[in-house]
Chains A and B, each alone.
Chain A
Amino acid sequence: DPKMAALAGGMAVRVTALVAGRSIAQKVAYGINRTVENRFRYFLKQAAPTTAVFQPALRYSSSTSKLVETTDEPDVLYKKLVLLCKGHEEAVLDSYEQFVTMAAKELQLNLEKIHRPHRVYDRITLLKSVHIHKKARVQYEIRTHFRVFHFKHLTGSTANVFLEYVQRNLPEGVAMEVKKTAVEKLPDELKPPGTQSESAPAEASQ
């Protein structure tokens, strides 16, 4: 029947239009034949409209924020911050190095140098058997790879924020040592005894 065929054809066209924006899996479910260009696609070109974009839950304005607390206490000043990362896998350390570099660039920190000391393979040879059989041994090794990040001129607040971020995202099997060099003023007592009237007799009497 040509009318029925036309109707069926029309319906098929409308159904195809309905599933036009759907994914491959949904098209399969609807039983629509995949077109040649979609057949070999690993995933679709455009995002489905229902995908939600992740946004951080906090909304803030740059000048005033309820999260930021300012105090009158003077900030610690770190002339140098050295991060030594030790790990068993070099690939993991490489990725971590990329992450730390990215984070430092985003937070505008002065990353002076990244230096990669030579790896250390700690080997031990043990007897395989509990008793005698001296010629039968087994060997183990512990592999340690290193990465050292040298930062310069960080304030205490910045250092705390950066270190917490970077340490929370430290991967499994990696350890870190942070060497901080803070700069401070000399103690007030460090003046020649002649200039200090009240402390001089106390010290001289000793």
Chain B
Amino acid sequence: FETTQCKVMAAVCTKMPPWWLQRSISLKYSSVRLASSLSPTSDNQRGPFRGRRRREDNGNHAPSRRPLVPRSAKMAEDQDWPSVWPTAASFKPSAVPLPLRMGFPLNRGVQPDKHGNNELRKIPNFLHLTPPAVRRHCAVLRQFCTDWPVALATDAACEAHFPLEVVTTDYVHSGPSLRHPDARIVTIKVKLSQLELDDHARKKLIKLVGDRYDKETDVLTITADRCPHRKQNYDYTRYLLTVLYLESWNTEPWEAGITPADRDEFLFEGSASEQNVVSTIKAIQEAEKGVSDTTQEDVLQNANVQQYREAVVTQKNEGESSEHVQGYKDSVKRLLGLN
């Protein structure tokens, strides 16, 4: 490059460059001029005719069209922009009075300007949603809005008055169909503490629903997606809730035949432990007096036996820990009179 530069300088100084240099000098000069120009009109860095000579280079012909004055030249600073750009429209460089540039600077040049810039046309613009425009839209839309009831300001108040939560999802997407298949899914959430349930009903309901009940939050979640329409799924969830509730209050005849293994909690009454205690006390009395004349009820009413019962129940229901085992040991000692 340096040698050619010297040659160009030499050619400028002398009268005429050699024939093999003439064409290369003219081309190099035109490319240099193009790269350094910052004219508002589009440069020839991109497009199918990039690097080619421009029509205006030929000074003999008049330009084919008079240069048009862009609309942005006639705009004032305090104009009403929402009148210029009322709706979403693709980017028009002549109508946007901003010196925007977008794109990668090729050949160590600058970012391409807004004229003929495909990237600026491709990207969605928000020129129709400027703050004054949004303010005007919302001023009109405000009349259709209603206020949230003041009495339901807290979550607790919402739960107290409206215990049922219905969760639905809507989808806005582009695709071959307007309908989204997951829009039919309906989920219902309710806290069991909000329902009137007695002990048996609560246990039966929890057994019936299984995984749908969360113990930590006390929330029952029922999801329905078996029907094609959202309203159908919603009706089905409400039907399920009603049926579960009423069935949990019902006691079937076969529920009486529950075995101790099936029970959620250990029940002392009617258990082997109870029988053992009674037989042990009677055996002690027989050994001491010869005849045991105390009835089972009187045995069970005994304070020591009650304490033993408490110890056994806590140990079975709450698990074994050092305190529980100690309590059991103390109650057994007291029962047998060993302390």
B141 within 8 A of A: yes
A43–B72 contact, CB under 8 A? yes
Q: Which candidate, B28-36, B189-197, B255-263, B317-325, is the interface stretch facing chain A?
A: B189-197
Q: Per a CB cutoff under 8 Å, which of A176, A180, A183 touches B171?
A: A176
B123 and A45 contacting across the interface, CB-CB below 8 Å: no
Q: Are A183 and B164 in contact (CB under 8 A)?
A: yes
Assess the A190–B78 pair: CB atoms within 8 A.
Answer: no
Given the interface pairs A25-B73, A25-B74, A42-B97, the reply to whether A185 lies near B164 with Cβ below 8 Å is yes
Instruction: State the CA gap A172–B223 with chains docked (Å).
Output: 33
User: Interface residue count for A (Cβ, 8 Å)?
Assistant: 74
Structural contact, A171 and B172, CB atoms closer than 8 A? no
Q: Closest chain A residue to B242 by CB distance?
A: A189
Across-interface contacts of B247 in A (CB, < 8 A): 203
Collect the chain A residues with CB atoms within 8 Å of residue B171's CB. Answer: 175-178
Contact between chains at B79 and A157 (CB < 8 Å): no
Question: Which among B128, B170, B198 is the interface contact of A178 at CB below 8 angstroms?
Answer: B170
Task: Note all chain A residues with C-beta closer than 8 A to B152.
Answer: 77, 153
**CB atoms of A161 and B164 under 8 A apart:** no
Q: Is B60 part of the binding interface, using a Cβ–Cβ cutoff of 8 Å?
A: no
Q: Is the CB of A175 within 8 A of B143?
A: no
A187 with B165, Cβ < 8 A, contacts A54-B83, A157-B144 known = no
A148 on the interface (CB 8 Å rule)? no
Contacts of A180 in B (CB 8 A): 167-170
- Contact mask A192-205 → B, CB, 8 Å, 1/0? 11000001000110
| B contact residues, total (Cβ < 8 Å) | 70
Q: Is B245 an interface residue (CB 8 A)?
A: yes
Which residues of B, 120-170, contact A by the 8 Å Cβ criterion?
123-124, 126, 128-129, 131, 134-149, 152-153, 155, 158, 161-170
**If the complex has contacts A99-B134, A183-B158, A186-B194, are A48 and B167 also in contact, measured as CB distance less than 8 A?**
no
Pick the interface stretch among A10-18, A56-64, A124-132, A133-141.
A56-64
Residues of B within 8 A of A (CB): 69, 72-80, 82-83, 86, 88, 97, 99, 123-124, 126, 128-129, 131, 134-149, 152-153, 155, 158, 161-174, 190, 194-196, 198, 201, 238, 241-242, 245-247, 249-250
* Interface pairs (16), CB distance under 8 Å: A43-B75, A51-B80, A54-B80, A75-B146, A92-B124, A153-B152, A154-B148, A161-B145, A162-B141, A170-B172, A179-B167, A180-B167, A182-B166, A184-B166, A190-B241, A192-B198
Known A-B contacts: A180-B168, A181-B166. Give 19 more (CB < 8 A). A25-B73, A28-B69, A46-B77, A54-B82, A67-B144, A77-B149, A95-B126, A103-B134, A106-B135, A155-B148, A157-B146, A161-B145, A169-B128, A177-B170, A179-B168, A183-B165, A184-B166, A185-B162, A191-B196
